[in-house]
Amino acid sequence: MGLVYSEPACQAAYSGDIHQLYAILKKNPTLLDIQDKHTGDTPLIAACRHGNLNVVKYLVDNKANALLTNKKQRTCLHYVSKKTLSLLDYLMIAILMPILLLGYFLMCGEVEGWLGLVGHGSFGEMMWLG
């Protein structure tokens, strides 16, 4: 079933009912960034939480504030990233991040060794030489 919000605008956004959300906001435009009493979610956060792209687009087009946080201190972007990254994406990041860091550290070691051959003592001097 999902979440049940105390604010009708949040519930309509979560449910993906863009027509109901339009009617609510037409009647009272100040509800665009209303925060639910229990979760602190805004309609934009609620729509992102459930992955309702059409509702998200509608809210963003109407200047919903994407920087507002809920009671967990999360913005709508947290829920968007949670919906768009799959388990496979997280595994790829977990596997590739150490490899990338190892490559970075090896590269830094080679740069410092090369600087020693050139005869300059610090990377700052090399940057100055251009």
Domains, the chain: 8-84 (1.25.40.20), 87-129 (no CATH)
| Comparison of pLDDT for 78 and 43, the residue scoring more | 43
In this predicted structure, the answer to whether residue 114 has a pLDDT above a threshold of 60 is: no
Q: What is the pLDDT of residue 127?
A: 47
Q: Write b or e for each residue in 50-75: b if 16 or more Cβ atoms lie within 10 A of its Cβ, otherwise e.
A: bebeebbebbeeeebebeeebeeebb
In this predicted structure, the answer to whether residue 130 has a pLDDT above a threshold of 90 is: no
| Alpha carbons 70 and 76: distance in angstroms, whole number | 9
Confidence of residue 92 (pLDDT cuts 50, 70, 90): low
| Comparison of pLDDT for 67 and 109, the residue scoring more | 67
Mean pLDDT, rounded, for 107-129: 53
Kindly report the average pLDDT of the chain as a whole number: 81
